[in-house]
């Protein structure tokens, strides 16, 4: 094979390898839409359960995209069998997030004179315990899968700068909380997202992230 042909072959291979990443980017954009609330309206327990079911279906879509379309293992998005280190670092990150969030609620929000999110929080804590467990489990699995594992890894492949990819995923994660929680809560979501993003960049262990996310939410919605 002569040099021009080899160059053309490499360029073609590079272009074709970028197709899944580009499609993954469009998938990320689609997942930013409030799809469950658009498909199922209302705040009854049945409606909330149906919305949760849609979130789990979206989780399956992301996993299926990686396994069946990209034909890559789940470790390509940081998901592997958890170890004791996953539990240790997950709980440590959760402790850091809870302390930071407590300071936001007790110091920063009052100092800035911002409205709190008491009404939104109360709407959740009055729900049955089993549903709250389901809710925070889904949030931990879906949001870490999408915003940490999938987003950071695939955006890095597209733009080749990992910290920029992490920043974009953090911004998307934070903004996703606006629709339900309002502007003030973006401080909370932003700090929590920052801790979770740092944990993923350091450990690249999505199981640790899911543990951290679950434990952080459990403090607020179960205890």
- pLDDT tens digits, residue range 67-117? 998 899 999 999 999 999 999 999 999 999 999 999 999 999 999 999 988
Higher-confidence residue of 178 and 5: namely 178
Q: What share of the chain is helix, strand, coil (3-state, %, to 5)?
A: 85, 0, 15
CA distance 87 to 101: 21
What are the pLDDT digits (tens) for 118-173? 888 999 999 999 999 999 999 999 999 999 999 999 999 888 999 999 999 999 99
- Within its chain, how far is the Cα of 177 from the centroid? 11
CA 137, distance to chain mean position in Å, is 12
Q: Alpha helices, DSSP H only, in the chain? A: 3-31, 35-39, 45-64, 84-103, 109-112, 118-125, 129-143, 151-159, 162-175, 178-181, 185-203, 206-221
What φ, ψ does residue 80 adopt, rounded to 5°?
Answer: -150, 175
DSSP state of 60: H
The C-alpha atoms of residue 77 and residue 53 are separated, in whole angstroms, by 23
Consecutive H or E run containing 190: helix 185-203
Residue 185 sits in which domain range? 3-221
Hey, how many other C-beta atoms are within 10 angstroms of the C-beta on 54?
15
Domain count, the chain: 1
Chain segment 14-63, per-residue pLDDT in tens: 444 566 667 767 777 777 778 888 899 888 999 999 999 999 999 999 99
pLDDT at res. 29: 77
**pTM attached to this predicted model:** 0.88
| Distance between CA atoms of residues 93 and 87, nearest Å | 10
Q: Which residues contact 117 (CB under 8 A, 6 or more apart)?
A: 181, 182, 184, 185, 188
């Amino acid at each position: 094979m002569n040099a021009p042909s080899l160059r053309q072959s490499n360029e073609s291979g590079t272009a074709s390898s970028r197709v899944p990443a580009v499609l993954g980017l469009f998938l990320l954009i689609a997942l930013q839409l409030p799809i469950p609330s658009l498909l199922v309206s209302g705040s009854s327990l049945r409606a909330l359960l149906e919305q949760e079911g849609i979130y789990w279906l979206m989780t399956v879509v992301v996993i299926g995209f990686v396994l069946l379309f990209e034909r890559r293992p789940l470790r390509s998005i940081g998901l592997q069998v958890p170890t004791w280190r996953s539990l240790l670092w997950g709980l440590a990150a959760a402790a850091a997030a809870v302390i930071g969030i407590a300071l936001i609620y007790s110091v920063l929000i009052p100092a800035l004179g911002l409205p709190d999110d008491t009404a939104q929080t109360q709407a959740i804590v009055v729900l049955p315990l089993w549903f709250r467990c389901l809710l925070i489990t889904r949030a931990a699995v879906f949001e870490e899968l999408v915003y940490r594992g999938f987003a950071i890894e695939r955006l890095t492949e597209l733009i080749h700068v990992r910290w920029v990819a992490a920043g974009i995923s953090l911004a998307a994660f934070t903004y996703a909380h606006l629709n339900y929680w309002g502007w003030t809560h973006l401080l909370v979501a932003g700090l929590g997202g920052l801790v979770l993003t740092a944990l993923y960049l350091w450990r690249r262990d999505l199981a640790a992230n899911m543990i951290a996310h679950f434990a952080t939410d459990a403090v607020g919605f179960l205890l």
